[in-house]
Structure 1
Amino acid sequence: MHSYDNPVISGFHPDPSVCRVGDDYYLVCSSFEYVPGIPIFHSKDLVHWRQIGNVLDRPEQLPLPLPGTMASRGLYAPTIRHHDGRFWMINTNVSSGGNYIVTAERPEGPWSDPVWLDLSGIDPDLAWEEDGTCWCAFSGPAGGINIARIDPVKGEVLEGPVPTWSGTGLKYPEAPHLYRIGDWWYLLIAEGGTERGHSVSIARARSPRGPWEGAPANPVLSHSGTERTIQSTGHADLVTAPDGTWWMVLLGTRPRGYTPNFQVLGRETFLTPVEWDEDGWPVVAPVAERGPAPGGAWHPFEPRPARDDFDAPALAPHWISPYARPAASWSLTARPGWLTLTATGPTLDRPGHTFVGHRQQHHDCRVTARLDPGAGRGGLSVRMDEAHHYDLEVGDGEVGVVARIGPLHQTVARRPVPPGPLTLAVTIRTTDITSPSPEFAGVEPTGPDTLAFWLGDPDAPDAQPLAELEGRYLSTEVATGFTGRVIGMYATEGTVAFDWFAYESPSDPAPSA
């Protein structure tokens, strides 16, 4: 029997929703302020996932830049379903427009333009009765779960919305998913907030209109108050495997460091088995770091190459940018074999800059890039938001390390470099955490990791270490919000060209996501 490691999709991939079509599984996640929007993944075994695209990948679907978007705003909590030969995705754009539906014949797209719904709230879900009646459950603007009967093709509300079951009394009941299983309708929700109190609860009724009965064992999943390394377990979706077994995908975090612990990768996608008791209630296993995999065939995907040489005609779907990626800001043809970035804003401290990034997906990892700054300014950045990022920057004949932590903005290292292409690297480690400087002797480092910045390949004998910074300041507990670290390339003056970008983890294979 095979075993699997959690998370099954690592890094900032929160709010997973999954559906199965035959022997294939498809999963979507929230993307918040990053575009393209709503990454979509494919799997044959619920364990190995490969990103096959993004649901919202053109301006007609998503106005860019997202109007009024700030960090951790934008696109919240999608649901994906397959019905009547089509894929359906419903989602909330909290920055512009509200709730909408897009459809596709194939999961990799193209997906339709949005059909907007006159329903105020977040985390919408779709479920159909056998006669085609469609229900939309969502978290209402006043709190609590609401339900409405809708026409998903026209976007019309036909009945409701009306309040329905809203959990056990914990805060923020949200993330509803409605299922018809046997003679019952089940309503799965998250409650307790998306922090350490996050949990999963469930109710059932004979009709989507209720009345609803909560499970006696609610919440059916919670790691709150435990010593488990996986925390904040919630925002779940159920799926059956071809062998009849049941599984749950959900978000969780892996905080590290001294109390209160710090999570830097964002909320990730986890997998756990589900059984049903004799009374018809789900029994959800605690989310383990490793467990027995679903039965059936084992389908690993070829790992994504660690290095991108920018030789393809388009950017791979895992490359993301905050708020917008204007056509004039990047090119794969201006200098063939290079990604050329042109500045659209003078600083990473405000929206409107040019940035193309990659989610950090391992606690220990290395990013290396070869770039030609020309007469421009740019480099590598490890980003949480505009107020929390570390930058390895080249411009005006110098390389420097710049730290932005809330209101503080400081250059912590600087040295001259010759003109022409050069190699930059950022290494992130969770062992041998940086010791404090002599003036802080006796104070132990307590953060989750250390970020080291290099001129040159760290393995090369001529590599020059520039600075080491503590990682806690690029964590959710400090920066706040719903996202995780994104490591990427940027330009804030003129044009900067990147020959290649490599993301590697010394202890784990390259991510297949």
Structure 2
Amino acid sequence: MSGGHPVIPGFHPDPSVCRVGDDYYLACSSFEYVPGVPLFHSRDLVHWTQIGNVLDRPEQLSLSDDAASSGGIYAPTLRHHDGRFWLIVTNVNGGGNLLVTATDPAGPWSDPLPLPGVPGIDPDLAWDDDGTCWCTVAGISQVRIDPYTGETSGPPRRLWSGTPGAKAPEAPHLYRVGDYWYLLIAEGGTERGHGVSVARGRTPNGPFEPCPANPVLSHRSTDDPVQNTGHADLVQAPDGSWWLVLLGVRPGGGTPGWHVLGRETFLAPVTWEDGWPVVGALTAAGPGPLVPFHDDFDDAALAHCWISPRRRSPLHCTTKERPGSLTLHALGDSLDAPDVVFAGYRQQHPSCRVRARVDPAHGCGGLAVRLDEQHHYEIEGDADEVRVLARIGPLRTVVASRPVADGPLVLGVDVIATKELRGARSGPDTLAFGVEESDGTFTALASLDGRYLSTEVAGGFTGRVIGLYAADGTAHFDWFHYEPLAH
């Protein structure tokens, strides 16, 4: 296989897909961010548009300050059955597995139905010919469930433990294709050893025989630019062709390689040979031209793509207080705090340019690149100065500062991917933080190594989010501009 391009770039992991007529719908994990579970629509599996978030109300998803980064919402499964959309997912910080439904995938989605009888994570739903609903979870075990009441029948039953010696059998999806039921799983862990394996049986609860060619997809021990491939879901197109959506990462820099955008959604074709799926090369078709994202905050509600860690209260994050601005009222005093008031946009390209206009006259606010509470860079301003800060593990420091004149500031960061390695220790990219002057020129105050905002350094399951925050008092943001750059 050769490396392809993500069809949904940036931090969009654990994709699950279903088709209704000519329309495809896809959901991803959101972890500690709200609103939860971004939902996308496509007509061709390549070009996707976000149409909403499944868990977009506090009564659906409430995460407390002790919900750690990379906690929260794990691995949804999205299905369409009996005229209704069903989404089952795990909240690892409160309530375990839950089920929501909708007649329109753009919402509204129902309040969550708790599933106390469903253990573990990565739940899947599949319906038998007689209407029986089976829920399969990481492990790999299965229980019969009534999706309308949440009641289960009998204890979970182990189905298949995956390839002998392979760790972390997870992300199960069960399908009826022809005369067989196919059980697709991820195994090997979500790092470089990740892969997809499959087994089949005559009934939805087995017994299952493994495919002799397992893993049917893995980039482990290759020099492919896309790594960690796994956590896949299968879908058939109207023309009869089959496709696989999956997660992967694009490491950059030297050894060991650092991925900074998180786990992204990729696409691969599937054919069938001797009753087994054969996965082709990841599609080279990317999401299209480099299109900027700009928000003037003229609408009453934030766009679907804006996310915040753990909560977003209209008392502290609103576009209604000052028309044409996003107003943030500080709670936590920095990005170190779990209750920081932050609204962010997923970094989706290895190189990008971001600018934001902030009025910090009544407090302190800025522009940040966040991975988690212990790994972030930011540039912030108050009435006296603008400064660049870095938090790397236990260390926090002011990297640079300068006085400012009265009035709003245009703060910026240029993220430039490493093109030519300068040795095995070259980082994946450089982040230059600075101020845009009145004549439009950009003055960089500091350039920072991007490896420290990577999963390989910080750990966890998320990716970079670039956004706006308040560290003290009130900060008003007139606009936010994200521009992808060729690399």
Q: Normalised by the size of structure 1, how large is the TM-score?
A: 0.91
Secondary structure, counterpart of 2:457 in structure 1: helix
Number of equivalent positions: 483
1:25-44 alignment, distance < 5 Å? 25-44=24-43
Conserved 8 A contact 1:221-1:284: yes
1:156 is the counterpart of 2:151? yes
For 2:259 and 2:288, locate their aligned partners in 1 and report how far apart those are by CA, in whole Å: 28
1:20-169 alignment, distance < 5 Å? 20-63=19-62, 65-66=63-64, 68-117=66-115, 118-139=117-138, 144-169=139-164
For 1:434 and 1:398, locate their aligned partners in 2 and report how far apart those are by CA, in whole Å: 36
For 2:380 and 2:198, locate their aligned partners in 1 and report how far apart those are by CA, in whole Å: 50
For 2:223 and 2:288, locate their aligned partners in 1 and report how far apart those are by CA, in whole Å: 33
For 2:267 and 2:387, locate their aligned partners in 1 and report how far apart those are by CA, in whole Å: 41
C-alpha spacing 1:505/1:301, structure 2 compared with 1 (3 Å): closer
- For residues 423-463 of structure 1, give each alpha carbon's deviation from its aligned partner in whole angstroms, at most 9, with x where no partner exists: 0110000247899xxxxxxx8861000000111169934x3
1:213 is the counterpart of 2:209? yes
1:225 is the counterpart of 2:224? no
RMSD of aligned residue pairs (Cα, Å): 2.0
- For residues 360-415 of structure 1, give each alpha carbon's deviation from its aligned partner in whole angstroms, at most 9, with x where no partner exists: 00000011011101120110010000000001011241000000000111111000
**Structure 1, 406-415 or 424-433: larger mean CA deviation:** 424-433
For 1:466 and 1:314, locate their aligned partners in 2 and report how far apart those are by CA, in whole Å: 33
- How far the C-alpha of 1:287 sits from its partner, in A, is 2.5
List 4+ stretches of structure 1 deviating above 3 A. Answer: 65-68, 300-305, 431-435
1:493 is the counterpart of 2:480? no
Conserved 8 A contact 1:67-1:95: no
For 1:448 and 1:128, locate their aligned partners in 2 and report how far apart those are by CA, in whole Å: 44
Unmatched segments (≥5 aa) in structure 1: 294-299, 436-442, 509-513
C-alpha spacing 1:137/1:434, structure 2 compared with 1 (3 Å): closer
Conserved 8 A contact 1:382-1:487: yes
Conserved 8 A contact 1:87-1:107: yes
Unmatched segments (≥5 aa) in structure 2: none
Give the residue type in structure 2 aligned to 1:404: R
1:331-480 alignment, distance < 5 Å? 331-431=318-418, 446-456=426-436, 460-461=440-441, 463-480=442-459
1:284 is the counterpart of 2:279? yes
- How far the C-alpha of 1:68 sits from its partner, in A, is 3.5
Q: Who is 1:326 aligned against?
A: 313
Q: Normalised by the size of structure 2, how large is the TM-score?
A: 0.96
Conserved 8 A contact 2:383-2:406: no
Percent of counterpart pairs with the same letter?
62
1:308-323 alignment, distance < 5 Å? 308-323=295-310
Give the residue type in structure 2 aligned to 1:313: A
Secondary structure, counterpart of 1:314 in structure 2: coil
C-alpha spacing 1:56/1:475, structure 2 compared with 1 (3 Å): same
- For residues 258-282 of structure 1, give each alpha carbon's deviation from its aligned partner in whole angstroms, at most 9, with x where no partner exists: 11000000000000000000x2000
- For residues 116-172 of structure 1, give each alpha carbon's deviation from its aligned partner in whole angstroms, at most 9, with x where no partner exists: 112220000000012111000001xxxx20001110110000233100112102000
Q: Who is 1:185 aligned against?
A: 181
Conserved 8 A contact 2:329-2:474: yes
Give the residue type in structure 1 aligned to 2:448: L
For 1:180 and 1:487, locate their aligned partners in 2 and report how far apart those are by CA, in whole Å: 41
For 2:188 and 2:13, locate their aligned partners in 1 and report how far apart those are by CA, in whole Å: 16
Give the residue type in structure 2 aligned to 1:454: G
For 1:374 and 1:205, locate their aligned partners in 2 and report how far apart those are by CA, in whole Å: 66
Conserved 8 A contact 1:103-1:111: yes
Conserved 8 A contact 1:341-1:354: yes
- For residues 28-73 of structure 1, give each alpha carbon's deviation from its aligned partner in whole angstroms, at most 9, with x where no partner exists: 000000000000000000000000000000011112x346310000
Conserved 8 A contact 1:67-1:96: no
Conserved 8 A contact 1:369-1:502: yes
Conserved 8 A contact 2:134-2:145: yes
- How far the C-alpha of 1:500 sits from its partner, in A, is 0.3
